[in-house]
Amino acid sequence: MKHKLNISHAISLKSVGKPELGYITVAEYQTDIPFDIKRVYWTYYTPNQVTRGHHAHKALQQCIFAVSGRIEFELINANGEKSHFVLDSPEKGLYIPPMHWRTIKFSHNAVLICLASEIYVEGDYIRDFDEFINFKSK
Ligand code: TYD
């Protein structure tokens, strides 16, 4: 898979199996994930009416999958351009480059798994939208 590293984009992985057996999907370094994975986290039980995210990252790259349920992303890049992604199948993913403001909605049964290029550093977050907008023009 070819990744454009400065542009958010959908990731489509293979799903191996059949209904009577079940399925396996694999995300492999280099072929599917364009960075060294330093951290993996997952989120779950987010109520339907809750919107999460509301932040951008200065350096972090992420590949995100909904291993269960449905997850909707609204992204705004450093130029203020919006994009919308729906993860509604375990083999569909999303690559998020640095400097993308995100808001995320979940179905209650959704499990989001994130493969991340860096360990957790709170200083990498921009949690204020005005700061994000101003940060891009520096
Ligand atoms: P955050 O990334 O702010 O998630 P959201 O924007 O969806 O609410 O993370 C929520 C909380 O979890 C925040 O207090 C930081 C903490 N956290 C960690 O301690 N380590 C991590 O790797 C992550 C992703 C979050």
Report the pocket of ligand 1 as residue ranges, CB < 6 Å. 39, 41, 52-55, 120
Please choose from 55, 111, 115 the residue to mutate so as to test ligand 1's pocket, defined by most ligand atoms within 8 A of CB.
55
Higher per-residue pLDDT: 4 or 10: 10
pLDDT band at 3 (very low <50, low <70, confident <90, very high): confident
Structure-token pair, residue 127: 């949690």
The predicted-structure confidence for 122-134, as pLDDT tens digits, reads as follows: 999 999 999 999 9
pLDDT band at 119 (very low <50, low <70, confident <90, very high): very high
Residue 124 Cα to ligand 1 middle (Å): 12
55 is catalytic: yes
Across residues 30-35, what is the average pLDDT?
94
Structure-token pair, residue 28: 């492999």
42-46 own/partner pairs: CB under 8 Å, 24+ apart: 42/67, 42/111, 42/112, 42/113, 42/114, 43/106, 43/111, 43/112, 43/114, 44/110, 44/111, 44/112, 45/108, 46/106, 46/108, 46/110
